Amino acid sequence: MKTLLALNTDLSAAIAFANGKAPDWVELIPAGPVVTGRDGRTWLFDGQAQQMVLGLFTARSIELPIDWEHATQSRAPNGEEAPAAAWIAQLEIREGGLWGQVNWTPRGGEQVVAREYRYLSPVFDYEADGGRIVRLVSAGLTNVPNFLLTALNHENPEFNVKLSPALLALLGLPEAATEADVIAATTQLKQAANTEKTPNLATFVPRADYETLLSRATNAEQALSTRVKTERDASVSAEIDAALKLGKITPATTDYHRAACQEEGGLERFKAFVNAAPVVGEPSGLDGKPKPVLSTALNAEQQAMCVQLGVDQEQFAKTLQSEG
């Protein structure tokens, strides 16, 4: 088990092995069954996790990006540029670790060879209960090996979806089944339904039963997607309402914060912002209605600047008002 790299691969040795060129194969997740981050958190990367990661990558049939500093998660959702430094075209398990065959862009390959970027940091989805890694999302070139910018890698999961007992029964799964189990079951049903082969009389399924299985798989997948979205929207609304009542955000910025919370990791970033932000409005005494805000409301960028520089937002708003 590799712990010193803290799930961030040092590309220097790979470059040397590749005779001064950007390596064709890179290590993405160290050997399991348990991998440990610099901050002490651990994830499970056992045989089941490895097969799920490989299976979902194959099922999606798309190459995954290697970007700069996890821009795919931090910049792209805001409409900013998030170009790829390379594309992951193939995955393999080697001695318990996950490796990827990559195609570098000219700029990405040059920066790696020039050691402008040394580390490769993976972004992955994992089960909230148990920490088993289930899907590789992307990877990022970085010189600061941490996970603060990666989605679904926060210490506290955004929310934990309770799966419907009826949905689990429909798929023949136990009540303790996880979201990953549901995805695997529905994928298996769809693959079985779409596979064309000569019927075996010992396992032949009548047409009516085939249609029923296919319908169950489709309905289960849709039900899971709807439930996840409903739970997420409820969590976002609750956090935004609480922030409004505390005066940590203004009504004028709720649409912005609501959209930002829909991104991967957005809800956790919003919670952290609210915890650090000062009050920007005075108490109204209107039975729980949103507090009135300063006549000059700060936008999200101004609020973030005040938090970073330690400037009182109320005083800064009054300054803007006087200047206006």
- CATH number for position 170: 1.10.287
Q: Which of 170-179, 266-275, 303-312 has the highest mean pLDDT?
A: 266-275
Q: Which structural domain, as residue segments, surrounds residue 36?
A: 9-142
In a domain, 210, yes or no: yes
Helix locations, the chain, DSSP H = 12-17, 47-60, 71-74, 106-113, 165-170, 179-194, 207-246, 254-261, 266-276, 300-309, 313-323
pLDDT digits (tens, 9 = 90+) for 161-184: 456 777 778 878 887 777 778 778
**Considering its fold, how many domains does the chain have in total?**
3
Tell me whether residue 198 is exposed, middle or buried, using C-beta atoms within 10 angstroms of its C-beta: 0 to 12, 13 to 18, 19 or more. exposed
Please report whether residue 2 resides in a domain: no
**pLDDT tens across 204-251, in order?**
667 777 778 778 878 888 888 788 888 888 988 999 999 888 888 988
**C-alpha dihedral, 112 to 113 to 114 to 116, nearest 10°:** 10
CA dihedral 272, 277, 282, 285 (to 10 degrees): 20
Tell me, yes or no, whether 185 and 296 share the same domain. no
Q: Give the separation between CA 128 and CA 35, rounded to whole angstroms.
A: 16
Task: Give the percent of the chain with pLDDT over 70.
Answer: 77
The mean of the pLDDT values for the chain is 78
Residue 4 belongs to some domain of the structure: no
Residue 195 predicted with pLDDT over 80: no
- Between CA 173 and CA 159 the distance in angstroms is 22
Q: For 62-85, what is each residue's pLDDT tens digit?
A: 999 999 988 988 888 888 989 999
68 and 97 in a single domain? The answer is: yes
pLDDT at 194 over 50: yes
Q: Are residues 285 and 172 in the same domain?
A: no
Of 223, 246, 269, which residue sits at a domain end? 246
